Chains A and B, each alone.
Chain A
Amino acid sequence: MEVNERDPVTGRETTGHEWNGIKELDTPVPRGVLMFLIVTHIWAIAWWFFVPAWPLGTTYTKGLLGVDQRTTVEERVVEGQQERSVWMTRLESESYDAILADEALMQTVRGTGRQLFGDNCAACHGRDGRGRAGYPDLTDDDWLWGGGPELIEQTLRYGINTAHPDTRIAQMPAFGRDGMLERDQVRSVAAYVYSLSNPDYSTDENLERIEAGRDVFATTCAACHGENAEGKLEIGAPNLTDARWVYGGDLQTIIASVHGGRQGHMPTWDERMTDAEIRTLALYVHDLGTGQP
């Protein structure tokens, strides 16, 4: 019998093969490897006995535990619904006043509402509800359509300028682009509107333009925004006298708003959320707005 070469480091024999200088030792598979191999196989085979595992034509081995992921998930869903129904049914059925008066229930609204808001509203209004250009800040007390829970619910449910039959509708016409106001009138009325929230702007130099703008405002804008320019909640016309703006309150942006008009869009959530979710969000947003902790 041919005696194979012995490796001086390990003392093992080689297999006697050689490829381009590479040799192999004839080391047996270490006992630990075999043990571990057996353990993993026993574990795997045991698992086959307990849960669904092998196909048998049109059916399969069901396993001793009798579990199936489909029934498991159905059970879990029912369990979760039951757990939540304690407060969910109250949010669905009780009046807003009653819920607002119940501090414990309002804590639930703040917890659940935060997650609902994050997953559904934050893409436009921001995670903290502070909005950004074109998307209103929901944390202040300045509302376009009103900040009571019922009013917020209506906005949420039917949206603004949507295809829903009950949608809220509001449009700021494009006074400049559509030729309702001259270029100069646009600039004047913008200067007037700007001066309402920026008293420093009313210098002698600008006074003439502001006065001209005041006249334009009275004939053209007051019908919606009111004679005092404080807006009208029932038609979604914003208050122009405060420092809070949807599209931006610098002179250029106001000119752009008067010239090109605005028509914001808030989606309808009527059939995309449950009643409980819509009511929770209405309360949550109301709660953001009134600045309570």
Chain B
Amino acid sequence: MIGRLTSTERQYAAVVLSLLVVAGIAMAALGRNDALGVHGVLVILFAGGLLYAVLSAFFEPEPREDREASYYDDPIKAGIVLSMAWAVFGMFMGVWVAAQLAWPSLAFDAAWSTFGRLRPTHTSGVIFGFGGNALIATSFHVVQRTSRARLAGQFSPWFVLFGFNLFCVLAVSGYLLGVTQSKEYAEAEWYADLWLVIVWITYLVLFLRTIARRREPHIYVANWYFMAFIVVVAILHIVNNLAVPISWGHAKSYTIWPGVQDAMVQWWYGHNAVAFFLTAGFLGMLYYYLPVRAQRPIFSYRLSILSFWGITFFYMWAGSHHLHYTALPHWVQTLGMTFSVMLLVPSWASAGNALLTLNGAWHRVRDDATLRFMMAAAVFYGLSTFEGSFMAIRPVNALSHYTDWTVGHVHAGALGWVALITFGSLYTLVPALWKRERMYSARLVEVHFWLAIAGTLIYVFAMWNSGIIQGLMWRTYTEDGALAYSFVDSLVAMYPYYIARAFGGLLFLIGALICSYNIWMTVRSVPLAERRDSDVPAAVAVPGE
């Protein structure tokens, strides 16, 4: 792969990686009495390993290919592999923490394996590791195809991909060491956050430059969503992580936001991470892979516009619904609630647009598990956005907040929508990217589909039951006006559901393992497809320009 870089690009890579090694040495030296030092060593190993690979191939002959005659797919392939590796890691962590809730002794009396430290390794592992890598990979694929232009540059895609994974490694390993900002979904500390800013802005510039090179007169919907994802995640990440480290030699920092404003900024971030990372980005995937697989035109361009602007505008206001009945002023809660309700129809419009696109292709949905993954994802997307708007209504939230219902809702979205659309997209993308005739085994895709559906349904139903029981137990009073149940009583009532949840998660994890195997075997053993000349960038003279 390095042989395909020009010598100038190899020099860039060597310089950047050397700087990173120096930064790692500085971190290791300054933070020698702190977890920061451990991370310094990790940075040295990560950058040093890559530097070794670059230098080993440094003097290979210059590539002779005509770059404008093909798309640049190497980083996409690496992104898919990384995404699946993180999926297996993150989902395993999820099953482990779920099992710990039912059987606490599975924490094994060690600090690193307590629930509080493992839980963010699960969330970051699946959201950023699995989801993030899948988004980077598919966005690189979709933007090239729908722009009919090659990625702008060969070094920056690698920088984005590996830089992002370095962030993930620093975040997840930090949690095990006890390094955390204690902000949900933004636990990584200041130095990892600063690094991600550099990576993410490079991603934005790369994406915009590629769009600017497009040979199509219009920008396709999927790219609107990918751009919204990249731009807004940059804003959210920077604002929520504004913090002052206690010294250059320590991992610990303090946020600049005080009290309830910190809570508001955090949930503005948290909710929009759901909106723009877990929704907009994956809608970008849906808008490309679903019509390609179904071989159908998008149902309605107008509906696409309505839902895109609805989602990008209304989501921004909805974060305060995470803070109902708290110290946050009542009027902020009202705005969060009402904008969440106004968000419902634009969200549903996306799900509806996807499902109606399948009109004329339902026989394919029946026969093709890959397309069925995407159909089911759209259904779960519709269900969980309805549920989200519903739970944002204050009196409903009074029951659901702090209970497992929230956990069930998140997983209806994360398993049912995000993971299913990703699997459907990967099953479409992998054979196309490696130029194979098909996936290694259609049967295994089918097995994976049913495992994923069963796992999701078991999980979500268990958490609905458990959450509503919990919520009701916490608010039940005796005739005398005293609370009827202690907190421990509610925990005892949760026990069977915790077991069911861990089992549902286990099924989902097995599905992900099967998917990894299927991808591996596709790349290894499925014969090459006949060359498809259509999968190349447009020549410079373009109709419509």
Contact = CB atoms under 8 A, between A and B. Distances in A.
Interface in A199-242: none
A61 interface: yes
A112 B291 CA distance: 60
A69 B216 CA distance: 54
Nearest to A118: B486
Interface string A39-63: 0110111011001111100001100
User: Which secondary structure characterizes the binding site on chain B?
Assistant: helix
Nearest to A79: B481
Contact of B480 (A37, A84, A119): A84
Contact of A33 (B220, B335, B352, B360): B352
A128 to B, nearest CB: 11
B487 A17 contact: no
Given A26-B301, A47-B338, A52 B481 contact: no
B146 A27 contact: no
Interface in A77-95: 80, 83-84, 86-87
Contacts of A54: 331, 335
Nearest to A127: B488
B483 A41 contact: no
B487 A119 contact: yes
Contacts of B304: 24
Given A24-B298, A53-B334, A127 B492 contact: yes
Contacts of A48: 334, 338
Contacts of A114: 486
A28 B302 contact: yes
B341 A43 contact: yes
A291 interface: no
Interface in A1-36: 7, 9-10, 14-15, 17, 19-30, 33, 36
A272 interface: no
A115 interface: yes
Contacts, number: 159
Contacts of A40: 341-342, 344-345
B481 A69 contact: no
Interface string B321-350: 000010001110111011101101110110
A144 interface: no
Contacts of B501: none
B438 interface: no
A52 B330 contact: yes
Interface in A104-120: 108, 111-112, 114-119
Contacts of B300: 24-29
B153 interface: no
Contacts of B348: 33, 36
Contacts of A60: 329, 331
Interface string B300-312: 1111101000000
A92 B417 CA distance: 55
Contacts of A178: none
Q: Which of A20, A37, A55, A83 has the most CB of B within 10 A?
A: A20
A15 B301 contact: yes
A20 B329 CA distance: 50
Nearest to B490: A118
Contacts of A73: 325
Contacts of A108: 478, 480, 482
A20 B146 contact: yes
Interface of B: 145-146, 148, 216-218, 220-221, 288, 291-292, 296-304, 306, 325, 329-331, 333-335, 337-339, 341-342, 344-346, 348-349, 352, 359-360, 478, 480-489, 492, 534
Given A33-B345, A55-B331, A84-B481, 16 more contacts: A7-B360, A14-B297, A17-B217, A20-B145, A22-B292, A25-B299, A25-B301, A27-B302, A27-B303, A29-B303, A33-B306, A43-B341, A51-B330, A112-B482, A115-B486, A127-B489
Interface of A: 7, 9-10, 14-15, 17, 19-30, 33, 36-37, 40-41, 43-45, 47-48, 51-55, 60-61, 67-70, 73, 80, 83-84, 86-87, 108, 111-112, 114-119, 122-123, 127
